[in-house]
């Protein structure tokens, strides 16, 4: 299970690095148009300095990755959401994707790029909760409300666990998450 969490962290870290390099130079209108925001333990936090949405369609494999950073420094605070169609190979369309799904994998990541702070949520966390008999709090849910040529819009919420460790119980509550990110 720990290997899966490390791979997830590395994947989301790589995606966020790509995000920083693909969307750093935005004019003011774009900065206001594309956004990612949520409440972390009740405090509004924006990840709109740099945002992106990547869609990967490779044969039967499909994935949507959403990410945003709080600033464009070398070690920014970031928030990420990833939905893949494994194991089902079903299409990813507008809809609700929960960590309890057996047809899709939905994962979230929050922290610093250097992983000095790293919180994880989603399918692998839920599977660990079941395995270690830890009662889930707020399930992680990502919702896609629209996919256009320009951008991807949706929402997210749920509990994120420090380093993905459900047994330690060090978690943050993410609520009212919303995004509209440029589609690449």
Convert the pLDDT of each residue in 101-136 to its tens digit. Answer: 999 999 999 999 999 999 999 999 999 999 999 999
Average pLDDT, the chain: 88
Q: In a 3-state reduction of DSSP, which class is residue 125?
A: helix
For position 20, what pLDDT does the model report? Answer: 44
Alpha-carbon distance 149 to 43, whole Å?
A: 32
| Tokens found for residue 19 | 């995000």
Instruction: Sketch the domain layout of the chain as residue ranges.
Output: 2-182
Provide mean pLDDT across the span 83-105. 96
Quick check: 92 and 105 in contact, CB under 8 A? Answer: no
Residue 63 CB coordination number (10 Å): 19
User: Is the entire prediction scored with pTM above 0.75?
Assistant: yes
Provide mean pLDDT across the span 69-75. 94
Convert the pLDDT of each residue in 15-68 to its tens digit. Answer: 544 444 444 444 454 456 999 999 999 999 999 999 999 999 998 999 999 999
Strands (E), the chain: 35-40, 43-46, 50-58, 61-69, 77-84, 95-98, 105-112, 118-122, 141-147, 151-162, 171-182
Confidence of residue 5 (pLDDT cuts 50, 70, 90): very low
Alpha-carbon distance 84 to 166, whole Å?
A: 22
For position 31, what pLDDT does the model report? Answer: 52
- DSSP secondary structure code for residue 170 in this structure: -
């Amino acid at each position: 299970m720990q290997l899966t969490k490390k791979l997830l962290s590395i994947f989301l870290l790589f995606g966020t690095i790509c995000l920083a390099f693909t969307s750093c130079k935005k004019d003011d209108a774009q900065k206001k148009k594309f956004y990612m925001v949520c409440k972390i333990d009740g405090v509004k936090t924006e990840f709109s300095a740099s945002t992106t949405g990547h869609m990967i369609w490779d044969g039967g494999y499909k994935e949507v990755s959403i990410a945003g950073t709080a600033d464009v420094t070398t070690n920014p605070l970031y928030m990420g959401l990833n939905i893949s169609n494994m194991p089902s190979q079903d299409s990813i369309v507008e809809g609700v994707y929960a960590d309890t799904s057996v047809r899709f994998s939905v994962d979230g990541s929050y922290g610093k790029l250097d992983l000095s702070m790293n919180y994880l949520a989603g399918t692998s966390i839920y599977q660990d909760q079941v395995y270690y008999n830890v009662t889930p709090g707020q399930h992680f849910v990502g919702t896609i409300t629209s996919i256009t040529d320009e951008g991807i819009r949706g929402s997210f919420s749920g509990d994120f666990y420090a380093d993905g460790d459900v047994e330690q119980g060090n978690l943050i509550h993410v609520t009212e998450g919303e995004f509209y990110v440029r589609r690449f």
